[in-house]
Structure formats: structure tokens, C-alpha cells
Amino acid sequence: MKHKAGRIVTILLVLLVIVGGGAVAAIYQKDSLAHVYFRKLNDKTEKTTTTAVPVTDETATSSTIDEAKLKAQLKRLQFVGNVAVIQDGKLVYQQPYGQDPQKNTKTAATKYQIGALQNTLTAAAVMQLVKDGKLDLTTPVSKYYLLDNADASVTVGSLLEMTSGLTLDVLPASELNKDVIAWNLANATVTTTGQYNFQTVNYALLSGIIAQASGVSYQKFIKDTLLQPAGVKHTGFVTSAAVQSKLAPSFTYDKASDSASAVTQDTLFQTMNDQLGSKQLYTTASDMAQLTHYITSSSFVGEKYMHQGAIAKEGTAYTGRLTIDGSRLVSRADFAGYHNALAFTEDGKTGVVLLSNYQKDGSLSDTAKAILKLVQKTTN
């Protein structure tokens, strides 16, 4: 009898709260008295009801990955950062691993700068414009920019391959540059066209050519063509020190003294200015995995245009683009204390991304390949 009376009192109290305008509080405000009574009344229902968790950039579907072996690979390299794995087009694993010198807390949404790994996305954007008939790889760069001593052999395609002969040996300023194009044009020189030479000026100019050919800014074209269609949510541009402060800080390691030091903002911005300045991307491991999967899928530009310029042939010198390595697609980048690597199957459906802010030793690229091999074993 007492039990029934107590339940009646509880029901009346809940009704009183709702009638008094507290319906929203009863359901949603977890720290409210109304919600306490609402929970009591619905306790049995809540315990027996389950809700499916959607697969987002914060969650991953179930996987058969041997986590013990995966972690052993990461431990062997003393990996510090975030790892994301895609199997058959689905994000199945993403975790932070290890600790940097300051023991900064990392989550699945921890963001990193990716340096020359961004060249993969720039090349993909170029090939989208080629497919749309707005750009031609054989077009001389002089159509877009005037460069001293540059003849018709300095083409858009030579920028992709880094065989343009453009060099840039001037040390940039440590204040974040909003207009790297003008700075590159003022300081670049042309040497021997046709010979490979890794120079960041090539992709800086490509960002400007993308803007001219598309009619919108480089940033907007990347967002509209790659970021939004791929469905990524934690990728953007480092436009200021305030944005940079929200990313994982980077560290360098000195083997001789076995010591680490944080990369200063001046050093970081100077390195950024040597590439794309405020056009430099940050991303998460899962976002980079999704982006790689998207640009290599048939729903993007297709195999013809990917292999025409966005994917480098096996044995090709390093440009930051995806490169064929046996039956894999790989890429890597080291950037002011950030170290990044990825390895995917040729169809882009299965792969691993490693983003690190502190690397002491070993090859991150080799680790990515080893983890991909491990993932493929569990997929087959």
C-alpha cells in the first residue's frame, strides 16, 4: 500500500512540474528536480531501451583488427599521436596513443597540421579542374603568373611533378603570411626545367592557379570540392595563432642529448610561410582517412584523372602526393615537429592514417604500411 501511495505521489509531482511549464526541464535538463522525477518514473523503460550509435567522425564501427598487434607496432616505434583505420570504406578504429613531452591530453578529435601531406589534396583539386575542362596540365604557368626566365616548358603539370625548375631559397618571415603567392613570385627563380627538385613554391603557385581557374579562393574550392563532399568536420585552415593554439602542439627530439623541445610559434609560422602560409590545413586522423578514401573513390574524378596527376607513379620522386608503392597508395610528411604518414589499398577502401606531434625514432611510413598489412589480414 505504501509502495502504491509513493508511486502516486511521484506521478502527481511529475504532472505538477509539467503543468507548471517544466516539460522541457523534466526531459532534457539533467540537473533539474523535474528530470530526477522523470527518471524515476521511467527507470524501467530506460534500462531496457537501447539506441543505435551512428557512425560519425567520433565513433567507429566494429572491427576485427587485432588491437594487441596494432598497439605493439605503435609501441615499437614509440608512436605519439592519433591513428585511424578504414576498412572497406568504413571508419573502424581511431585512438590517440602515447604521450608527448608535456603529456597533453588527446582525443579522437585532436587536430594536427599535415604539411606537405596537403599536396595530396591540392593535386586532387587540380585534377577536378582538369576533368571539368577548366585547367590543362600542359598550359604554361605564364598564363597565370609572370616569372623571370620561365618559358613554355614551365607548365601546370611540371608544378605537380616538381620538375618546373622553380627554386626558393629565401628564409620567410615568422609572422603568418596571408599572401604567400606574392612572396613566392617576388623571391622564386627558375633554374633547369625538367629536373626534379622538391620546392614548396610549386604547390604554393598551384593553390593560386586553382583559385584563378575555379573563380573562387583556394580555401573555398578545397572546402566545396573535397571537405564537404567527404563529410569531414574537424578540418580547416590555420588562419591565426588562435586557431593554431587549438591544435596538438608539436615537439622536436634531439637524439644526442635525448631531450625534447616544443616548437615555437615563430618557427612554426616560418615553416608555414615556406609552404602555404594561412592556407595550411589542419585535420584529424579520422578526417584524413575519410578524405583519402573520398579522393580515391570512383565518385570523385575517377581512375583516369587520379593517375594522370593526383597519384604519382611508382618510383616517382617525393612531392607529397599519393604515390603507388607496390599494391599500396602511400604518402608522408614531416613538418615542424609534426610527422604524418598514410598507407591505403590501391582502391582507397582500406587504409591507415598516423598523425604525430612527437616522433623520436623510426619510420612512420613503414609503420603505416605494417598496420595496413595487419588490417588487410583481418579484412580478407
- Please report which confidence band the pLDDT of residue 59 belongs to, taking 50, 70 and 90 as the band edges: low
352 lies in a domain?
Answer: yes
User: In angstroms, rounded to a whole number, what is the distance separating the alpha carbons of residues 7 and 43?
Assistant: 12
Considering the domain architecture, whether residues 80 and 156 belong to the same structural domain is answered as: yes
Considering the domain architecture, whether residues 39 and 117 belong to the same structural domain is answered as: no
pLDDT exceeds cutoff 80 at 21? no
pLDDT exceeds cutoff 80 at 31? no
Considering the domain architecture, whether residues 41 and 99 belong to the same structural domain is answered as: no
**For range 340-355, the mean pLDDT:** 96
User: In angstroms, rounded to a whole number, what is the distance separating the alpha carbons of residues 202 and 186?
Assistant: 14
Tens digits of residue pLDDT in 191-214: 889 999 999 999 999 999 999 999
pLDDT exceeds cutoff 80 at 18? no
- Please report which confidence band the pLDDT of residue 327 belongs to, taking 50, 70 and 90 as the band edges: very high
Tens digits of residue pLDDT in 361-373: 888 999 999 999 9
pLDDT exceeds cutoff 50 at 354? yes
Considering the domain architecture, whether residues 226 and 88 belong to the same structural domain is answered as: yes
- Give residue 62's pLDDT: 54
Cell numbers for 119, please give them. 599536396
Q: Who contacts 47 (Cβ-Cβ below 8 Å, separation ≥6)?
A: none
- Give residue 100's pLDDT: 96
- Give residue 76's pLDDT: 87
59 lies in a domain?
Answer: no
- Give residue 235's pLDDT: 98
Considering the domain architecture, whether residues 200 and 230 belong to the same structural domain is answered as: yes
**For range 78-90, the mean pLDDT:** 95
Considering the domain architecture, whether residues 160 and 76 belong to the same structural domain is answered as: yes
Tens digits of residue pLDDT in 212-253: 999 999 999 999 999 999 999 999 999 999 999 999 999 999
54 lies in a domain?
Answer: no
Q: Kindly report the average pLDDT of the chain as a whole number.
A: 85
**For range 351-370, the mean pLDDT:** 94
Considering the domain architecture, whether residues 14 and 149 belong to the same structural domain is answered as: no
- Give residue 65's pLDDT: 82
Domain that holds residue 18: 2-48
User: In angstroms, rounded to a whole number, what is the distance separating the alpha carbons of residues 243 and 246?
Assistant: 6
C-alpha atoms less than 13 angstroms from C-alpha of 231 in its C-beta half-sphere:
12
Considering the domain architecture, whether residues 24 and 115 belong to the same structural domain is answered as: no
What whole-number percentage of the chain has pLDDT above 90?
74
C-alpha atoms less than 13 angstroms from C-alpha of 67 in its C-beta half-sphere:
10
284 lies in a domain?
Answer: yes
Report the 10 Å Cβ neighbour count for 265: 15
Considering the domain architecture, whether residues 156 and 33 belong to the same structural domain is answered as: no
Which amino acid is present at 110?
A: T
58 lies in a domain?
Answer: no
Tens digits of residue pLDDT in 123-182: 999 999 999 999 999 999 999 998 888 889 999 999 999 999 999 989 999 999 999 999
- Give residue 51's pLDDT: 26
User: In angstroms, rounded to a whole number, what is the distance separating the alpha carbons of residues 196 and 131?
Assistant: 26
- Give residue 145's pLDDT: 95
- Give residue 23's pLDDT: 40
Considering the domain architecture, whether residues 222 and 105 belong to the same structural domain is answered as: yes
- Give residue 24's pLDDT: 38
Considering the domain architecture, whether residues 110 and 252 belong to the same structural domain is answered as: yes
Q: What b/e sequence results for 201-222 when a residue is b if at least 16 CB atoms lie within 10 Å of its CB, and e otherwise? A: bbbbbbbbbbbebbeeebbebb
What whole-number percentage of the chain has pLDDT above 70?
83
114 lies in a domain?
Answer: yes
pLDDT exceeds cutoff 60 at 2? no
Structural domain total, the chain: 2
CATH number at residue 243: 3.40.710.10
Backbone angles phi, psi at 203, to 5 degrees: -85, -20
- Give residue 61's pLDDT: 57
More confident: 233 or 55? 233
168 lies in a domain?
Answer: yes
Backbone angles phi, psi at 187, to 5 degrees: -120, -10
**For range 351-358, the mean pLDDT:** 97
**For range 7-34, the mean pLDDT:** 41
57 lies in a domain?
Answer: no
Considering the domain architecture, whether residues 149 and 259 belong to the same structural domain is answered as: yes
pLDDT exceeds cutoff 60 at 296? yes
- Please report which confidence band the pLDDT of residue 88 belongs to, taking 50, 70 and 90 as the band edges: very high
- Please report which confidence band the pLDDT of residue 256 belongs to, taking 50, 70 and 90 as the band edges: very high
